[in-house]
Amino acid sequence: MSAAPVRSPTLRPHRMKKDESFLGKLGGTLARKKKAKEVSDLQEEGKNAINAPMNPSTVDIHPEDTLLEENEERTMIDPNSKEDPKFKELIKVLIDWINDVLVEERIIVKQLEEDLYDGQVLQKLLEKLADRKLNVAEVTQSEIGQKQKLQTVLEAVHDLLRPHGWTIKWNVDSIHGKNLISILHLLVALAMHFRAPIRLPEHVSVQVVVVRKREGLLQTTHVTEELTTTTEMMMGRFERDAFDTLFDHAPDKLSVVKKSLITFVNKHLNKLNLEVTELETQFADGVYLVLLMGLLEDYFVPLHNFYLTPESFDQKVHNVSFAFELMQDGGLKKPKARPEDVVNLDLKSTLRVLYNLFTKYKNIE
């Protein structure tokens, strides 16, 4: 009879250690669930605060926007404002402008918050507009490096804008934090300062939701943020000249100035059997401006260079812009007026352009 096989002793883990391991895992799981619940509760608290009965607008809050430190605050645009056609137009106009300026850099901006926050595009934009090189690293991946670049870029911007009375409504943290309101304020100021050849929509405002944490509770308020006023008011930050004074304080003399300018332009346009009776409208499509420059400088302007019978707004802007180029070729400074303002029947802008011509060519027969 064979002997029963000898079984090797089975090593069993210590009972207490197994329990400790189990409890440890259980404790870790409970801790994680508790933490997740706290986060969830805080997020819910934020949403409830936003959706309180006193606030008519329903705002979609990102979870991170409700995780605030004591006395910290976050701002976000009310979704209804984001759907406002004028707000959308403002963003589109600014994006198109940036892409036009930076076309040689092969930079294409699609979303302002995501493409401008790190300072790279803002650096290129300012360098192109101001025709100067900034002493910053070309590429910075770290947050510290990006903020250092932003600091340098924004300091250069502030040096340009402060003398003209602009209120600075942005800073490094708000731009780097992808705050769209701050980014828009910055771009509007740059566009106005550098006389961008664009037409910003006027009177653009948005509703902004401000979330603050006070004594552990989230509080919300709604404020109206004005992004643009009128072109006249925004441009007024940068220039006041004789025509401003004329319009504001001596309207009785305006007719005298207009009559003098009409006499001047007709003296030359009559050579082509053309006559001007209304300065406000007859120069708005740019055709008379182009022909007038040819007469004043004594050359024929090829008809393929401009639209003789412009129909669209863009064609009219092209004509006025082309006339401005001819003026600069003739030795005049770049007109202070924008082509879009002349096309939009802005009398003061038209008078500025014609008066510059009158000053230089008044003695030409």
pLDDT exceeds cutoff 50 at 18: no
- 181 pLDDT band (50/70/90 cuts)? very high
Strand arrangement, sheet containing 73-77 = 73-77, 205-214, 217-226
What pLDDT, in 10s, does the model give residues 241-252? Answer: 556 555 555 566
Given a cut of 80, is residue 281 above it in pLDDT?
A: yes
Tell me the pLDDT band of 283, cut-offs 50, 70 and 90. very high
Confidence class of residue 23 from pLDDT cuts 50, 70 and 90?
A: very low
Whole-number pLDDT of residue 53: 36
> Closest by alpha carbon to 207, among 54, 89, 59, 63?
59
Q: What are phi and psi of 329, to 5 degrees?
A: -60, -30
Cα(222)–Cα(77) distance, integer angstroms: 10
Is residue 244 classed as helix, strand or coil in its secondary structure?
A: helix
Q: Where are the alpha helices (DSSP H) in the chain?
A: 15-50, 79-82, 85-101, 112-116, 120-130, 143-161, 172-176, 180-193, 231-235, 242-249, 254-269, 279-282, 287-297, 313-329, 339-343, 347-361
Q: What is the per-residue pLDDT for 284?
A: 92
CA distance 65 to 71: 14
Specify the pLDDT at position 232. Answer: 61
68-107 pLDDT per residue, tens? 777 777 788 888 888 999 999 999 999 999 999 999 888 8
* Better pLDDT: 23 or 102: 102
The answer to which of 24-38, 58-72, 73-87 has the lowest mean pLDDT is 24-38
250-269 per-residue burial string, b: 16 or more CB within 10 A, e: under 16: eeeeeeebbeebbebbeebb
Mean pLDDT of the chain: 79
The pLDDT value recorded for residue 112 is 95
Q: What is the pLDDT of residues 296-329, one digit of tens each?
A: 998 999 999 999 999 998 899 999 999 999 998 8
What is the distance between the alpha carbons of residues 119 and 176, in angstroms, rounded to a whole number?
8
Q: Confirm whether pTM is higher than 0.95.
A: no
Least confident of 169-173, 212-216, 297-301: 212-216
* The amino acid at 321: S
Q: How many residues are present in the chain?
A: 365
